[in-house]
A and B are shown apart, each in its own frame.
Chain A
């Protein structure tokens, strides 16, 4: 009788060991699939740290927004933007393109959207940091500017969230600047960054691809004319409405479809 019980326990023990071993074996390929190359993440961190350390700068961005029409045709919309930033809390961005003709003013207290062609503007009180303003813009007003991803003080942590793949694709030249080409992947989104080699690791291109649909649409942002010593004496971060312009409101923003 005693021997039978012992045998039973031994069987259970063997079964448990087998289960434990199979669990650990099945975990191995999953770890290997998360190929996060530390060289790629180091370059990304160097770039975001450098961008975060700049007290002021201006940059020209040329953005391509890939879209699908209701009839399935690919249409690309171009938006050219001049962005001037003075940390901790000033930003001006002029955006011109087919879909938008707009100037953002942020002076640390108020965000103004001004559409010169329509002669209308809207003002709203916002938080007193760039990060706070971006958050407010996204959650309370319902839009964002692509470059904001790279401008957060903790941009590295933010970009690396849920990243399952990070690799250095290669080296190439963008506007004559030698850049490291990085590829990252996270659920639903792939993104690529081209970071200048050398002592000024600035981003020169940033591509975000929606991998949730077979169309694989992207936002492509090319950055040029980096100026780390912009003259801010004539730059107005506070909007002074020209004569004949009208103030309008923001519609209440509801998070509908993708929440």
Chain B
């Protein structure tokens, strides 16, 4: 009886050794290979910026088309020109108001909108674009622009 208990204990131990595949060192000893790990992150970043670029390009071209159409309309209908100009001016005003108040501070963009002017306030350079102020910064090694409060 005693012998059989001993044998049973030993065989249980042996069986456990075979079954349990214990990872002995789950602790990370050395740094990971960065480029190898960076693949996914970089892909995500680029996919985003490429999408943003094509979206803004589409927007720009549709705006141009709209402008061209408006010009044609103005040339053809001289009677309505004054009224249309007024309407256009009102639209522009509305657009400016939207740009200056519409882009939340802290928004990060990959490229500046067109028609910006550089402004230097206490040694720091900002870009003023339709009433919004952008400050350049590095996000990783990408140069981006962050919307900031109007510098004083």
Q: List the interface of chain A (C-beta within 8 A of B).
A: 5-6, 9-10, 12-13, 16-17, 19-20, 23-24, 27, 65, 67-70, 75, 77, 99-100, 102, 113, 115, 118, 120, 122, 131, 134-135, 138, 141-149, 152, 154, 157-159, 161, 186, 189, 191, 208, 210, 212, 217, 219, 246, 248-251, 253, 257-258
A106 CB to nearest chain B CB (Å): 13
B31, A152: Cβ atoms closer than 8 Å = yes
B14, A258: Cβ atoms closer than 8 Å = no
Contact residues in A for B124 (Cβ distance below 8 Å):
246
B45 CB to nearest chain A CB (Å): 9
B24 CB to nearest chain A CB (Å): 14
A100, B34: Cβ atoms closer than 8 Å = no
Known A-B contacts A23-B18, A189-B36; the reply to A9 vs B42 at CB < 8 A is no
How far does the alpha carbon of A165 sit from the alpha carbon of B42 in the complex, in Å? 25
Contact residues in B for A131 (Cβ distance below 8 Å):
31
Contact residues in B for A67 (Cβ distance below 8 Å):
43, 46-47, 50
Main secondary structure of the interface of A (DSSP, over half): mixed
Known A-B contacts A67-B50, A146-B35; the reply to A100 vs B141 at CB < 8 A is yes
Taking CB atoms and an 8 Å cut-off, the chain B residues in 1-43 that contact chain A are 1, 4-5, 7-8, 11-12, 14-15, 18-19, 21, 29-43
Q: Which of A17, A149, A157, A161 contacts B34 (CB 8 A)?
A: A149
B44, A257: Cβ atoms closer than 8 Å = yes
A19, B19: Cβ atoms closer than 8 Å = yes
Known A-B contacts A6-B4, A70-B50; the reply to A248 vs B40 at CB < 8 A is no
How far does the alpha carbon of A134 sit from the alpha carbon of B32 in the complex, in Å? 11
B11, A149: Cβ atoms closer than 8 Å = no
A7 CB to nearest chain B CB (Å): 11
Q: Which of A5, A6, A248 contacts B136 (CB 8 A)?
A: A248
B125, A246: Cβ atoms closer than 8 Å = yes
How far does the alpha carbon of A158 sit from the alpha carbon of B28 in the complex, in Å? 11
Number of interface residues of B (CB under 8 A): 47
Contact residues in A for B108 (Cβ distance below 8 Å):
251
B128 CB to nearest chain A CB (Å): 15
Contact residues in B for A69 (Cβ distance below 8 Å):
47, 50-51, 54
Known A-B contacts A157-B30, A208-B35, A258-B40; the reply to A75 vs B50 at CB < 8 A is yes
How far does the alpha carbon of A102 sit from the alpha carbon of B139 in the complex, in Å? 14
Q: Most chain-B CB neighbours within 10 Å: which of A75, A212, A246, A248? A: A248
Contact residues in A for B15 (Cβ distance below 8 Å):
16-17, 19-20, 23
A9, B35: Cβ atoms closer than 8 Å = no
B139, A161: Cβ atoms closer than 8 Å = no
Can you spell out 17 A-B residue pairs with CB atoms less than 8 angstroms apart?
Answer: A13-B4, A16-B8, A20-B15, A23-B18, A67-B47, A75-B50, A77-B46, A100-B141, A142-B139, A147-B35, A157-B30, A158-B31, A208-B35, A217-B39, A249-B137, A250-B139, A253-B140
Q: List the interface of chain B (C-beta within 8 A of A).
A: 1, 4-5, 7-8, 11-12, 14-15, 18-19, 21, 29-44, 46-47, 50-51, 54, 108, 124-125, 135-144, 146
How far does the alpha carbon of A12 sit from the alpha carbon of B38 in the complex, in Å? 52
Q: Which of A5, A99, A100, A248 contacts B137 (CB 8 A)?
A: A248
How far does the alpha carbon of A259 sit from the alpha carbon of B8 in the complex, in Å? 46
A219, B11: Cβ atoms closer than 8 Å = no
A155 CB to nearest chain B CB (Å): 8
A154 CB to nearest chain B CB (Å): 6
B141, A143: Cβ atoms closer than 8 Å = yes
Closest B residue to A68 by CB, please name it: B47
Known A-B contacts A19-B15, A67-B47; the reply to A120 vs B34 at CB < 8 A is no
Known A-B contacts A70-B47, A212-B40; the reply to A16 vs B34 at CB < 8 A is no
Which 8 A-B residue pairs are closest in the complex by CB-CB distance? A144-B34, A23-B18, A143-B140, A146-B35, A70-B51, A210-B39, A142-B140, A20-B15
